[in-house]
Amino acid sequence: MKGLSVTNVTKRFGDITALDRINLYFGENRIYGLLGRNGAGKTTLLNTITGRIFADEGSVILDGSPVTENESNLSRIFMMSESNYYPENMKVADAFRWTGEFYDSFDRDRAVELSGRFGLSLNKKIKSLSTGYGTIFKLVTALSVNVPYILLDEPVLGLDANHRDLFYRVLIETYSENPATYIISTHLIEEVSGIIEDVVIINKGRIIRNEPRESLLSKYYCVTGHISAVDEFARDKKVIASETLGGLKNAYIEGTPDKRSMPEGLSISRMDLQKLFIQLTGEGGNMQ
């Protein structure tokens, strides 16, 4: 079977279950958003997929064969993370050459071109890069490696607004020219909501939602109005969360609204991805 499959993966650190029976499938040439709060298990999941850590239970399979301790499959996956795996005294240009020794598909000309667009000096030593430019170096590397699966763990850490915008544009440009599967792990949901095609939400080590973005958003809506009117309307509905401000109330409801039968004085709005994420993973949200 083509694609990347995570089957019944569990990972524990002492008494803490970081990943709890994770089952996921990542298809070819898609952009996935792996969304979760800090400590939800995002980085642990990505590290398990890439073999940087080993699962206690379960398996990771790429195109029908295991990823763990499989150099051929591992060479088809690249992960950008907060950790630095390059010698700190190495210059950026030398790091690009070094990457090419591990990944035959690495496009050094593309890396040099992107470095220019981001203002990254090729002669700088990695240890002298600021947090933002350290992130840019990793992004440029990831966007030039040309492998089928590219995992980006918090890819805009330390970037200013202009560089974040440039990254998103370059990502779409790269994806259009050389399609691959991108898994973007982030808590900055509003910024990636227009880019990702599929949404995976992880909460306390468990996958609580996993489906195409538009399909997910079509299943929820918000009703706003006076508290008593909202309570009456929502009485027989599946309310995932609610909030009040003065005499007004918002009820976040799972289901499809019938606008023709809405009581007077109530308004319906579509939930955006960030608002839905907050309600599903925040205090009082439905985490099932």
The DSSP annotation for 98-136 comes to HHHHH-TT--HHHHHHHHHHHT--TTSBGGGS-HHHHHH
| Six-digit token string for 84 | 């630095």
**What pTM, to 2 d.p., does this model score?**
0.92
Q: 219-281 has which CATH code?
A: 3.30.70
pLDDT digits (tens, 9 = 90+) for 233-282: 999 999 999 999 999 999 999 999 887 778 889 999 999 999 999 999 98
Burial of 194 (0-12, 13-18, 19+ CB in 10 A): exposed
The domain 4-204 having CATH identifier 3.40.50.300: the answer here is yes
Burial of 177 (0-12, 13-18, 19+ CB in 10 A): exposed
For range 71-87, the mean pLDDT: 89
The CATH 3.40.50.300 domain(s) of the chain lie at 4-204
DSSP string, 272-287: PHHHHHHHHHSTT---
The CATH 3.30.70 domain(s) of the chain lie at 219-281
pLDDT digits (tens, 9 = 90+) for 189-208: 999 999 999 999 999 999 99
